[in-house]
Amino acid sequence: MRILVTGASGKLGSQIVESLAEKIPTSHIIAGVRDTQSEKAEAFIGQGIEVRETDFEKKDTLVQAFQGIDRVFIVSTFGDADSSIRQQTNAVEAAVEARVAQIVYSSAPRADVSEFFLAGIHRIREEIIKASGISYVFVRNNWYVENELGTIQQCLNGAPWVTSAGTGHVGWVYRPDLAEATANVLIGDGHDQKAYELSGENLTQQQFVGALNEVTDKDIPLLAVDDAAYGEMLTGAGLPEDLVTILVMTQQGIREGGLENTHSDLEMLLGRKPTSVKEALQQLLS
């Protein structure tokens, strides 16, 4: 069985490749990257992993890359709605043309029903995959602990933890756990037409900060504000308007339950307890 991982030079994709390399011969793994001359691509080749060009804007590269592939991991691409749908369509059509047997796609929590603003585009992408007729598995990843590293650094430099998310819960999850779970899906059987919710423990912002304080032996305060004040603070810090809008909407979505872990399949796919937020922070900040 030959498995191709798109986005293999990215943080999640590269960790999926690394996890696969611990489980199956590297001759069965293909790393899909946009730049086959990059340092990351060279590192894969050094491990005995074949590298193929996979540019989601160039469907012909995908069709060529998917030749002889049994299962493909399609990473979520970022951009506006039109480009995201175009890129997803290119990838799925290429998989059909290359007769790929199974697509594993990294989606968002409860993408089929969630009103969280980031879920909408994933819902469309899932429908594109379903309509292809190819066997699929959706791994619906919750919020990475790693997403908070920039904010954590600011707090370690003396800033408070500012939030407008109220008491909303987030199923924060450690990215290497997601990579390992996805690798297990890619090499496993019995996952056809499944959607797996991959989340960690439910924590409020205050509980997350509490774990951070335990790990760092700091006393970082939490500053609760409303959305307007949160946006004004981000703008005052020099962030671009588009990013401010996304960050404010994220806080609102958390407050409304958009990232709460109502059910998780992570432990089942890992075959062990997932890494806790505290353990993840210890790893990331050590």
End-to-end CA distance of the chain: 38
Which domains does the chain possess? 3-141+173-198+262-274 (3.40.50.720)
Query: Nearest CA to 203 among 150, 141, 271, 254?
Result: 254
**Can you tell me the distance from the alpha carbon of 126 to that of 6, in angstroms, rounded to the nearest whole number?**
17
Query: Nearest CA to 102 among 69, 63, 62?
Result: 69
Query: Nearest CA to 42 among 51, 30, 32?
Result: 51
How confident is the model over 116-158, as pLDDT tens digits? 999 999 999 999 999 999 999 999 999 999 999 999 999 999 9
**Can you tell me the distance from the alpha carbon of 36 to that of 3, in angstroms, rounded to the nearest whole number?**
17
How confident is the model over 237-283, as pLDDT tens digits? 999 999 999 999 999 999 999 999 989 999 999 999 999 999 999 99
**Is residue 180 packed enough to be buried (19+ CB in 10 Å), middle (13-18) or exposed (0-12)?**
buried
**Is residue 50 packed enough to be buried (19+ CB in 10 Å), middle (13-18) or exposed (0-12)?**
middle
Confidence of residue 284 (pLDDT cuts 50, 70, 90): very high
Confidence of residue 231 (pLDDT cuts 50, 70, 90): very high
8-state DSSP, 219: -
Query: Nearest CA to 24 among 41, 40, 47?
Result: 47
How confident is the model over 206-224, as pLDDT tens digits? 999 999 999 999 999 999 9
* Mean pLDDT on 187-209: 97
Confidence of residue 80 (pLDDT cuts 50, 70, 90): confident
Q: Indicate whether 77 pLDDT > 90.
A: no
Query: Nearest CA to 100 among 195, 196, 4?
Result: 4
Confidence of residue 81 (pLDDT cuts 50, 70, 90): confident
